[in-house]
Structure 1
Amino acid sequence: MTREQKQQYWKDHIEAWQNSGLSQAEYVRRNGLPIKTFGYHKRRLQSAPKPQQTLVPVKVDNNDTNQVQTPESGISLVTPRGFTVALASDFDVACLQRLLQVIG
């Protein structure tokens, strides 16, 4: 079993346990898993940073009279609150994510 397969194996068991309504001890007993190994992987997975990915609907409005010119074929985004963010084609994705969390 590859490292990725092992990680997925334990991730699947952790998720199944969380959805089972069973105590941790009862879940590992019913599934024949070592309780210490289960606990180790549970802690490791819970402490791992979780990527934040959110799909946001995008409306393209070619008739917008308030268009913002962006350099180098960039794009502009308008948040639901009315903030406009103009982005060059080489924008920093991490910076944009932080900005949208603040103004979104």
Structure 2
Amino acid sequence: MAIPKPERFWQQHVDTWRESGLTQKQYIKRHGLNAMTLAKWSSVLQRRLRATPGQALVPVRVVGEQVPASAIEVRRGALRLLVPVGTDPHWVAALLREMPAC
């Protein structure tokens, strides 16, 4: 599916603005853009990114078959996750939301 031209245009500007280190005001002045429009597209694109499944990256460390004495095993379909005791439960929940159900 092709990305509509206005969306592609604003995605490029939002990405360039964020990478530029400039404030929004400096960026729009330099490129002759409307502040409200850039802010709107920035918000729309950010919401879409958060809502798109499978787009989040989380750090993963692959370990052998040994189970640490202080770990909790979590299974989701064919996937097996060993989580050290004391791991932030919010991080585990976010990881589980991103794991496909195999």
Q: TM-score, normalised by structure 1?
A: 0.48
Which protein is richer in strand relative to its size?
2
Q: TM-score, normalised by structure 2?
A: 0.49
Q: Which gives a bigger RCO, structure 1 or 2 (Cα 8 Å, sep 6+)?
A: 2
